[in-house]
A and B are shown apart, each in its own frame.
Chain A
Amino acid sequence: MSSHDEQALEPAGDRTPDTSEPIADPGLPAHQWRPTDVDERLEKRAERQVAALFALSGLCSVLFVVSYFAFEVGEVVTTVGGFGASNLALGLSLGGALLFGGVGAIHWALKLMGDHALVEMRHPVASSAEDREVTLGGFNTGLDESGIARRPLVRNSLLGALGVLALPVPIVLLRDLGPLPGDALKSTIWTRGMRVVRDVTGTPIRASDMQFGDLINAEPAAIFEVDEEGEPLIEGAELQTAKSKGAVILVRIEPDDIVPGEGREDWGVDGIVCYSKICTHVGCPISLYERTTHHVLCPCHQSTFDLADSAKVIFGPAARPLPQLPLEVDSEGYLVARSDFDEPVGPSFWERDSR
């Protein structure tokens, strides 16, 4: 330890006293002995404490292994105060094993390891002038020997080749990441005569099924269609895409409250109107309806639309009304679409013609 004492004091020559400073640097404070440095009893005690912490860590590790085998996961989840017993026991024992070990190591460092402050001089971050010269000189010599400056033909053809390699090749290679958008975003699965069905059960809806003030989350009937063997016709990604554009909300509003949009006077059936469920902001499904005001609110960013007034935006960040699906009644009395939406549903995009 005594060897550190010499290091601990900075050589006085390196400290140039600045006369303009109000107070001269008093230098590093003298080292303070810790109780564990001077009292052998305390030193031994600290040693035992560290060993005890490491022992506790080991004990927790054993408990971890025991918990792993003792507690079941899966169907028979035993819970302790709402926690899964396995998760709780594993977490506590692992936490204990790690924490006791970590605290033990730090306790060791603080109580028993040498605690003499050392001083290390900083070196300048920049290289020395000679080193810079040597490196730069070597680099320039290399350039010179390559003759890149003297042979513009070689240089330019190299740069050209690299450019051709670096720019188009990776882009071309990534072309098959996905198809081009085309008109995909401009249409949905809705077609003339497709029934509007309940989103969970897939059952069709009669106008008389709805009371004033009702809201039904609905889907196009096509997504529930099955083949002869009962297998769904649309599944997987195709189903998800169909739902992500075709989901609608049906509401029945007192006809007197409805302000019909221009050219949309006959898009509803007895006060039942149908709008896209997909928010025109960034595409969350809209779901919070307040029947007294006919307002529907998007839970993601709180855009609010008035369903009695062509679903116009009355609050929030959305810029456009929800697209409306024109309705009629089929021969069996069920609600069906008269056509697809007459505008793209969901968030705006560059190619969307909003005029």
Chain B
Amino acid sequence: MSIDTSKVATSNAGRAATAKKPSPIGAVATWADDRLGLATSQKKMVRKVFPEHWSFMLGEIALWSFVVLLLTGTFLTLWFNPSMGEVQYNGSYDQLRGIHMSEAYASSLTISFDVRGGLLMRQMHHWSAMLFIAAMMVHMMRVFFTGAHRKPREINWVIGCLLLLLGTLEGFTGYSLPDDLLSGTGIRAADGFMKSMPVVGTYMSFFLFGGEFPGELIIPRLYVVHILLIPGILLALVAAHMLLLVYHKHTQWPGPGRTEKNVVGYPLMPVYAAKAGGFFFIVFGVTALMGGLLSINPIWKYGPYDPSKVTAGSQPDWYMGWPDGALRIMPGWESNLGPFTLSWNVFLPIIVLPGLAFTILLLLPFLEQWITGDKREHHLLQRPRNAPTRTALFVALMTFYGLMWAAGGNDIIAINFDLSINQITYFMRAAVFIGPVIAFFITRRWCISLQRADNDRLLHGYETGIIMRSAEGGYTERHLPIDESQAFTLTSRDRDEAYSTNGHADANGVAAPGGRIRAARARLSAKWFGHNVQKPTKEEFEAGHVHAEHEHELQAGLDHPADGHQYDGHHTVEEDSLRGQ
């Protein structure tokens, strides 16, 4: 092979002599860009703007806990032995020495007692799993309450729901692995859940366990699900969630200069690189402190799994608590269909209910869109009060969840509050139906009251705390107008428009096909917006201001400076001094 070296030498000749030394980073960047073309694809990313609000950090906690889970989990796999083979424990923990147990349990004990940092990593892994799921839930509430699930972000809502579901399953498979008495009790119950399924139940149980419960395959099988299958899907979904976030650009709160068409915030480089990167270390650090200071799942206290033993107060991890509560308060219904048995008492609360709840969650954005008829894109967030029915609906669902969750701890509640477990159970059977309805109506009225209060602030100003006495001896509180940017922020929301059937009838008034559904939809939409308070029109706003100014004039004669009240956060007080100074 002959290379024309003369040409290469010639082309380099001019540049090689430049005085400026190329920086090593520049050289690496050039090397990479020559091969990957990163500069073009990332040119907008480097200074991409992200809006700022504390509530946008909740999802970040979930993201970083997931990274902590991957790191600590990888550490644990180096020692954990997912085998149900029976061994005699000969490790450091005195109380269990000589006892027969599975290799899974023995290796979990080894990690806890004989590997330096092992207990720390195990506890960090469990704590970050709880943080992961808790943060996902709180993030989901933030998204729904502020309307961030609306078009064009419905698919990201669906991905988020899948993440929550898979995260929960990942948690269950994870805490089942050590094969201690508590985790075995959980698997035993899961076996009972599966067997309750009509027709396929026993087959599913036998296939999953590789025969009759407990067999010796369930731990290795849950292991591969826990460390490969679900984390792989989680990782892919997290990536999709983030990509969509970047593509859609983050939602932002309304305010001066913030519109549906822009994003106001700080650039990725350097501000968010430092803030988000720093926040990863904070989440990681807090998890490390929790792992060092707070004991979690002390498996050595439970002993190895034995199907004839159980401890009182057996509880699943908290995120599994709500279907467990449903299981506890369900009446003991069972049907005999010929030679077959259908266990409603297990099948309904633990198979049907969670599936139904998850489906409802998944469909919420589409349901709302169908009712409101709102197909526009939304990038400005809503305050929960400005969507009263949506807020109330979710609070109702949360109330249902919370009551079910409490029912899952009925034995703990009974012991700690010295109550009858039977009465708690009977109470919960009714409360899970009545509670959400009450919560719905209270929340909706509450939101509407808050909307009214906002309009009062807009039209009549804020309460100064200054009490005025008139010549007649009457007392009034003085109101002053709020500043322009606050007022603008309050009015920066859409007027509600209920879906209507207008335009769906032809010139002769004959309804188009599907008219009945549309009419029902219109009625539902009208109910949805119900007694919502709309922001004032321009005329109302101006009339309100004239009225307020008139009031001020009336009070002017009685006015005294009310010194100190200027520090109420509604004024700039720079270079201001108190009277007499």
In the complex, the answer to whether B48 meets A97 with C-beta atoms within 8 Å is no
- Would A102 and B278 count as touching, CB distance under 8 A? yes
Q: B residues within 8 A CB of A97?
A: 285
The residue of chain B having its C-beta at the shortest distance from the C-beta of A118 within the complex is: B49
Q: Name which residue of chain B comes closest to A121, CB basis.
A: B262
B333 located at the interface, meaning its Cβ lies under 8 Å from any Cβ of chain A in the complex: yes
Whether A74 pairs with B114 at a CB distance below 8 angstroms is yes
Q: Give the residue name and chain of the B residue nearest to A199 (CB).
A: B308
Q: Which of A23, A105, A118, A181 contacts B487 (CB 8 A)?
A: A23
Contacts A22-B535, A22-B538, A300-B314 known; A125 to B308 CB distance under 8 Å?
Answer: no
Shortest CB distance A140–B (Å): 25
Q: Taking chain A's interface residues, is the majority helix, strand, or loop, or is none over half, making it mixed?
A: loop
Distance A351 CA – B119 CA, assembled complex (angstroms): 45
Is the Cβ of A23 less than 8 Å from the Cβ of B488? Answer: yes
User: A102-B285, A106-B274, A349-B202 given as contacts; is B293 within 8 A of A122 (CB)?
Assistant: no
Residues of A within 8 A of B290 (CB): 91
Q: Interface residues of B, CB < 8 Å — how many?
A: 130
**Is B215 interfacial (CB-CB < 8 Å)?**
yes
Q: CB distance B330 to A109 under 8 Å?
A: no
Report the Cα distance A281→B263, complex, angstroms: 55
Measured between beta carbons, the chain A residues less than 8 angstroms from B257 are 10, 25-29, 119
- Residues of B within 8 Å of A102, CB to CB, are 278-285
Report whether B345 and A318 are in contact in the complex, using a CB–CB cutoff of 8 Å.
yes
Are A288 and B279 touching (Cβ within 8 A)?
no
Instruction: Type the 1/0 row for B265-296, where 1 means its CB is closer than 8 Å to any CB of A.
Output: 11100110011011111111110111111000
- The answer to whether A98 touches B422, judged by C-beta atoms less than 8 angstroms apart, is no
A-B contact count (CB 8 A): 365
Within 8 A of B (CB), among A306-355: 313, 315-320, 346-355
Which residues does chain A contribute within 8 Å of B345, judged by CB atoms? Answer: 281, 317-319
Chain A residue numbers with a CB within 8 Å of B310 are 284-285, 287, 299-300
Answer whether residue A92 sits at the interface, using C-beta atoms and an 8 A cutoff. yes
Question: Of B113, B115, B206, B336, which is in contact with the most chain A CB atoms at under 10 Å from its CB?
Answer: B206
B332 near A318 (CB under 8 angstroms)?
yes
Partner of A121, one of B261, B330, B487: B261
Check B117 for interface membership: any CB of A closer than 8 A. Answer: yes
Once the chains bind, are B116 and A73 in contact (CB under 8 Å)?
yes
Chain A residues in 8 Å Cβ range of B117: 68, 86, 90
Q: Find the A residue at minimum CB distance from B254.
A: A25
Residue in chain A with minimal CB distance to B153: A125
Q: Which of B119, B260, B425, B488 contacts A26 (CB 8 A)?
A: B488
Q: Quick one: which of A22, A87, A219, A320 has the most chain B CB within 10 A? A: A22
A236 on interface, CB distance cutoff 8 Å: yes
Inter-subunit contact B281/A105 (CB<8 Å): yes
Which residues of A in the span 81-128 have a Cβ within 8 Å of any Cβ on B?
Answer: 83-84, 86-92, 94-106, 108-109, 113-115, 117-122, 124-126
Do residues B332 and A303 form an inter-chain contact, with CB atoms below 8 A? Answer: yes
Please tell me if the beta carbons of A300 and B278 are within 8 angstroms of each other in the complex: no
Contact indicator A217/B308 (Cβ below 8 Å): yes
Q: Within 8 Å CB of A117, what residues of B? A: 264-266
Contact across chains for A350 and B197 when beta carbons are under 8 A apart? yes
| In the complex, A21 has a CB within 8 A of chain B | yes
Q: Are B411 and A73 in contact (CB under 8 A)?
A: no
Instruction: Judge whether B211 is part of the interface by a CB distance below 8 angstroms.
Output: yes
Question: CB-CB < 8 A to A351: which residues of B?
Answer: 202, 339-341
Would B271 and A115 count as touching, CB distance under 8 A? yes
- Residues of the A chain whose Cβ atoms lie less than 8 Å from the Cβ of B77: none
A301 within 8 A of B: yes
- Contact at A22–B211, with CB atoms within 8 Å? no
Pair B538/A20 contact, Cβ less than 8 Å: yes
Nearest-Cβ distance from residue A34 to partner chain B, whole angstroms? 13
Asked if B537 contacts A22 (CB within 8 A), the reply is: yes
A-chain residues with CB within 8 Å of residue B537 when the two chains form the complex: 20, 22
Q: Which residues of B165-194 have CB atoms within 8 Å of chain A's CB atoms?
A: 185, 188-189, 191-193
Which single member of B94, B487, B538 contacts A19 (CB below 8 Å)?
B538
A130 contacts chain B at the CB level, 8 A cutoff: no
A118 touches B266 (CB 8 A): yes
A36 in the interface (beta carbon within 8 A) = no
Q: Which residue of B285, B334, B336, B535 has the most chain A CB atoms within 10 A of its CB atom?
A: B285
- Cα-based distance from A214 to B506 in the complex (angstroms): 83
Q: Identify the stretch in A38-46, A238-246, A261-269 within 8 Å (CB) of chain B at 4 or more residues.
A: A238-246
- Given A23-B488, A285-B309, A300-B310, check contact A101 B92 (CB 8 Å): no
Q: Is the CB of A105 within 8 A of B334?
A: no
* B84 on interface, CB distance cutoff 8 Å: yes
Instruction: State whether A68 and B116 are in contact (beta carbons under 8 Å apart), knowing that A102-B280, A347-B195 are contacts in the complex.
Output: yes
B262 touches A122 (CB 8 A): yes
Contact B288 A95 (CB under 8 A): yes
List, in ascending order, chain B residues with CB within 8 A of A346's CB.
Answer: 192
| Known A-B contacts A96-B285, A108-B274, A317-B331; A73 and B115 likewise in contact (beta carbons under 8 Å) | yes
Q: How many angstroms between the C-alpha atoms of A88 and B119 in the bound complex? A: 10
Nearest-Cβ distance from residue B441 to partner chain A, whole angstroms? 30
Interface residues on chain A, number (Cβ under 8 Å): 105
* A27 CA to B248 CA, complexed, in Å: 23
Contact B206 A284 (CB under 8 A): no
How far apart are the CA atoms of A99 and B287 in the complex, in Å? 10
CB contact list, B226-262 vs A, under 8 A: 247-249, 256-257, 259-262
Q: How far is the CA of A104 from the CA of B265 in the complex (A)?
A: 21
The residue that A22 contacts in the complex, of B48, B91, B283, B491, with Cβ under 8 A, is B491
Check A25/B488 contact, CB under 8 A, given A177-B210, A179-B211, A240-B214.
yes
| A355 contact set on B, CB distance < 8 A | 336, 339
Q: How far is the CB of B575 from chain A (nearest CB, A)?
A: 15
Give the shortest distance, in Å, between A262 (CB) and chain B (any CB): 18
On whether the beta carbons of B192 and A282 are closer than 8 Å, the reply is: yes
Are A120 and B281 in contact, with the CB atoms below 8 A? no
| B485 CB contacts on chain A under 8 angstroms | 26, 29
Q: Complex: how many Å from CA A353 to CA B283?
A: 54
| A241→B329 CA distance, assembly (Å) | 29
**Chain A residues with Cβ under 8 A from B203's Cβ?**
180-181
Q: Nearest Cβ distance between residue A248 and chain B, in whole angstroms?
A: 9
| Chain A, residue nearest B184 (CB) | A240
Task: Name which of B94, B263, B282 has the most chain A CB atoms within 10 A of its CB.
Answer: B282
B86 engages A236 (CB within 8 Å): yes
Q: Can you give 17 A-B contacts (C-beta < 8 A)?
A: A22-B540, A28-B257, A29-B485, A102-B280, A109-B270, A113-B270, A124-B377, A181-B206, A236-B84, A283-B192, A283-B213, A284-B185, A299-B313, A302-B421, A303-B332, A313-B332, A350-B197
Contacts A75-B94, A106-B279, A121-B261 supplied; 17 other A-B pairs, CB < 8 Å: A19-B538, A29-B257, A73-B114, A87-B119, A95-B292, A99-B289, A105-B275, A126-B152, A241-B213, A282-B196, A283-B189, A284-B185, A287-B312, A302-B410, A320-B332, A347-B196, A350-B195
Q: A residues near B, CB below 8 A? A: 10, 14-15, 19-29, 68, 71, 73-75, 77, 83-84, 86-92, 94-106, 108-109, 113-115, 117-122, 124-126, 174, 177-181, 184-185, 199, 217, 219, 235-237, 240-241, 243-244, 247, 277, 281-285, 287-288, 299-303, 313, 315-320, 346-355
